[in-house]
Structure formats: C-alpha cells, structure tokens
Amino acid sequence: MTPETVIEVGQHALRITALLAGPILGAALVIGLLVAMFQAATQINEMTLTFIPKLLIIAVVLIITGPWMLHLLVDYTQGLIESIPYLIG
C-alpha cells in the first residue's frame, strides 16, 4: 500500500464524512441563527430555547435525507471492502 493510496482513501473518507454531516450541521446552523435573532429581538435570554427547534429540525432532516445518507455510506463501505485485494497487493 503506497502513501498515495492511503492519502486517497483518507480523502475519500473525509469527503463522505462532510457529505453526511453537511445537511445536519447546515440545518442546525440556520435554526440556531433564526432563534438567536428572535432572542435578540425579543430580549429573551433563555439558553434552552434553541434546543427544541434544533432537535426537531435535525429529526426532520434525518428523516428526509436518511435514506440518501445510508445509501452513500453503504456504497462507500462496499467499495472499500471490494478494493481490499487491490489495496493490499
């Protein structure tokens, strides 16, 4: 296994991780900003106010993008397992 192969596999793993985490983190960021703007406008400084909307939107995002995420992860894992003979020697 050459150093280039290790770097390529690592880069692909990082790309998959970013694709899987992106929708969840993006939705949490948007909801967090909206709730923060609401709190600033109304001067409600309750720290737990952001928890429930973020939890709900993350659940919705997981329901919507869950099948795609699972398909992406299964395809990556299958490709990685199938390439073991080529990676070893």
| 50/82: higher pLDDT | 82
For range 10-32, the mean pLDDT: 96
pLDDT digits (tens, 9 = 90+) for 24-73: 999 999 999 999 999 989 988 888 888 999 999 999 999 999 999 999 99
CB 61 within 8 A of CB 24: yes
For range 20-26, the mean pLDDT: 96
Angle (deg, nearest 10), helices 51-82 and 3-42: 170
Provide the whole-model pTM. 0.81
Query: What residue spans define the domains of the chain?
Result: 3-88
CB 57 within 8 A of CB 23: no
Quote the CA–CA distance of 68 and 66 in Å, as a whole number: 5
